[in-house]
Structure 1
Amino acid sequence: MGHGNQSSVSDFLLQGFSQWPEHQHLFFGLFLCIYLITLAGNVLIFLAIIFESRLHSPMYFFLACLSLADIGMSSSVVLKMLHYLYTQQHTISYTGCLAQMYFFLTFGDMDSFLLTVMAYDRYTAICHPLHYTTTMSPRLCVFLLSVCWVIANILALLHTLLIAKLSFCVKREISHFFCDINPLLKAACSPTRLNELVLFFVGGPFLAAPFLCTLVSYICIVSAILKMPSSGGGRRKAFSTCGSHLSVVCVFYSTVFSVYLSPPSAVPTKDTVASVVYTAVTPMLNPFLYSLRNQDVKVALRSLLKGKIFASQTY
């Protein structure tokens, strides 16, 4: 088998949808609609939170950041996908491949960390309501966001630098529709043991820890809600407040685990579909999950679409 140093590699060939050559234009239309809906939905959520004073709270601050992270993750994958579906040129440069993987990992980790921080916010609001205002101060919110951003960038940079040290086969084919860690490791011709160890001992805990923290937070939240008196509507309001976030958590982690923690499928199309759901469909669904179950967000979105929010900013 021919080998080539990474300095001689000029591009990679992405084979993600090559098994359906007759449906390339159909896929282009489908993913273009998904991306436009993702962009519009998350931008609307972000603007509604920025301009609606009733949404100026820690929970919606992190929701606005989550919307930006969803836009970043979707853009890092779907824009290149649309390009090669439209042009039928399934190549990506070596530098572009590493850059795509870096930004995808950064925004994907940001999603995971932000969902955990939002779970902590809901835990504080429901389990310790009297201390919520002092605990979730603006300074703490900015600090938590900064920590999430720094850790996400460090993890993404670590994996990217380790991939950059690998040598790749002359064939340079990647059996995926974007540059992710596992497909690149499979395409490498040099030993990948160090990459796999780092992926297991560093990447694994940083994937499992946010999920476990979120799970523990919601166990405490549900326990606290069940202790509330059923009369007065307090229990229903608490469940309603957490329902949107819990829906997003379930969709996010179910797709992430199906992609990264389940064994490779004997049918490659199953892994491709799971990755599509994680990278393209989930960022599109998040704005709908929040707006459909959250009355405050729905009111703010209606005001935004009618121009009332912008009009109120001029006075």
Structure 2
Amino acid sequence: MDNHLAESLAVHAEALAAWRECRTKAQQIEDPEERAAALADLATRRPVHPYFGGLSLTALRRGNRRMLAPVRARHADAKAEHAETLAAWKKRHSTAQQIEDPEKRDAALDALKRERPTHPVLVATGCAVVAAVVLAGIPAVRHYAGVVVTSGLTLWVIVALILGNTTAPEKTPKALTEKVADAPADDADEDQEEEPETTVPTPAETHLLTASLAAGGTSVLLTRLAIDLAASHPSWEPSTKAVRTLLSEAGIRVRDGVRTPDGNGPGVHHEDVPPLPSPSESAPLPGVVANVGAGQSANANANNTIEAPAQEGFITVPHPTEPNRTIVVHAA
């Protein structure tokens, strides 16, 4: 897949095929009440197309907050400035009321009434009303008022959705940055040692997982492999494109459409899975599996052997990356 959109479309096709298969099974339920409940539950879980995934109220609210952030910041500054000015005005008003001469006191209070600061919300409301009256007096604007309003709202919604689906860069507070810069180097080394190491799946691990899932003669979807690999590597970002690369490095063919119990879609057919690598040492006796660690010599002592499973149809194979471990898999 060339880009993220193509990958999203492929994942959506797989999920939609699985959903349709579940709906077909639900339609075959004989009990009318159970059938209606199952269909109603499936209707709420229908996969959303990637084209419409970003059209959500959550994205719209997030975009509106980002667009209105400068306005809110300016309003907060104006409100704080108004509070300071009003506090100073009230102090002067209290001083003027203490004047003993009635004429001077009245004159000072009248002057202070005209100097009382206006709230920023009232100022903004007055400006909006004046602008609306002026624009309404223009015939061209009044004639195309509906078009202007509709176009403005449409443009606002589009920009809000774009901003709502775009990840905003995280801002590091200045105080936190200075604190980290002033911290001693020993603390930084300790923090680095405490951080867990990031691991990614290997082609051998992908081969082993694919073989174990396809051992019973069932094919495997790429999405199933991505989910299982991500469970073992939390820091790894799962994607079908990455799984394709791992399978290609392991020499496993990927088909565009396979039938699996999880649904139909791109995956690995059970006949295309190559056998796991055979042990480098001589084959053990039937019923006994050697468990020899690296750097140790094999011997026939009872404490160095493990009995094979009693069930028929199971075989033991060596671990592809850890020589001192063995794996029990179901033979096709």
When normalised by structure 2's length, the TM-score is: 0.19
Greater helix content: 1
Higher strand share: 2
TM-score (norm 1): 0.20
**Greater CA radius of gyration, 1 or 2?**
2
